[in-house]
C-alpha cells in the first residue's frame, strides 16, 4: 500500500518508519525538513501530490494552523474532522486524569500501583490510557510521545469552541488547569501528557 505522510516529527517519523518496515510501498512524504534518518521515501512538493500518489494519507502536524495551511489553503473551512479530534483529546485528557488519580490513591493507601493497574486491566476500567500511560506513571518515564503543550493547545481549542457553543466542559477545564500546573515546572510543557500524575 502507498501511504502518504504529512509531518515527520516526534510522532510522525516513527509511525512512517514502522509502516515502511512492515512492507508497505514507499511512503510518500511532504516535509519541510530533510527525511529522518532510516526512512526511505519519495518527497513531493504539495499535499495534493501526496494525495494523488497515495492510497491513504496520514497527517501528523502540531497545531491547527499547520493543518489548515497544508490541507485547506486560504478561504476554506474545516469540517467534522477537527471537531472529532478535539472530542478525542477531551476523552484522552480525562482518562489520563482519572488514571493518575486512581494510581496516586492506590499508592497513598499502601497498595502497589503496578498490581492495582494489573487488576484494573482485567475489568471495566481497562483502557489504552491505563495500559500505556498507567505504566509510564508507575515507571516515572515521561519522554514525550504527545507533549503536554500540544494537549494544552487541544484543550484550549475545546474550551474556546465550547464557550462559542454555550456548552459547559467543567472536567475539561480542570484537566487543562492540571496541565497548566505541569507546564509551570521546568521542562514540563515538553514532557509527555502522562506526566499529569
Helix/strand/coil (H/E/C) assignment for every residue in the chain? CCEEEECCCCCHHHHHHHHHHCCCCCEEEECCCCCCCCCCEEECCCHHHHHHCCCEEEECCCCHHHHHHHHHCCCCCCCHHHHHHHHHHHHHHHHHHHHHHHHHHHHHCCCCHHHHHHHHCCCCCCCHHHHHHHHHHHHCCCCCCCEHHHHHHHHHHHHHHHHHHCCCCHHHHHHHHHHHHHHCCCCHHHCEHHHHC
108 is catalytic: no
Q: Which of 85, 108, 115, 149 is catalytic?
A: 85
Which residues are catalytic, by number?
A: 85
Amino acid at each position: 500500500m502507498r501511504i502518504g505522510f504529512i509531518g515527520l516529527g516526534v510522532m510522525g517519523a516513527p509511525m512512517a518508519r514502522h509502516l515502511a518496515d512492515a512492507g508497505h510501498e514507499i511512503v510518500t512524504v511532504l516535509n519541510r525538513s530533510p527525511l529522518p534518518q532510516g526512512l526511505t521515501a519519495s518527497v513531493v512538493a504539495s499535499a495534493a501530490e501526496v494525495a494523488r500518489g497515495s492510497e491513504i494519507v496520514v497527517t501528523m502536524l502540531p497545531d491547527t494552523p499547520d493543518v489548515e495551511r497544508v490541507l485547506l489553503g486560504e478561504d476554506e473551512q474545516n469540517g467534522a474532522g477537527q471537531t472529532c479530534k478535539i472530542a478525542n483529546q477531551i476523552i484522552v485528557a480525562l482518562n489520563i486524569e482519572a488514571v493518575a488519580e486512581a494510581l496516586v490513591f492506590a499508592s497513598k493507601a499502601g497498595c502497589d500501583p503496578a498490581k492495582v493497574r494489573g487488576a484494573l486491566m482485567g475489568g471495566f476500567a481497562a483502557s489504552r490510557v491505563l495500559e500505556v500511560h498507567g505504566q509510564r506513571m508507575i515507571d516515572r518515564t515521561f519522554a514525550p510521545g504527545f507533549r503536554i503543550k500540544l494537549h494544552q493547545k487541544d484543550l484550549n481549542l475545546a474550551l474556546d469552541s465550547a464557550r462559542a457553543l454555550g456548552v459547559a466542559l467543567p472536567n475539561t477545564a480542570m484537566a487543562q488547569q492540571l496541565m497548566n500546573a505541569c507546564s509551570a515546572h521546568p521542562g514540563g510543557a515538553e514532557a509527555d501528557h502522562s506526566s499529569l500524575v
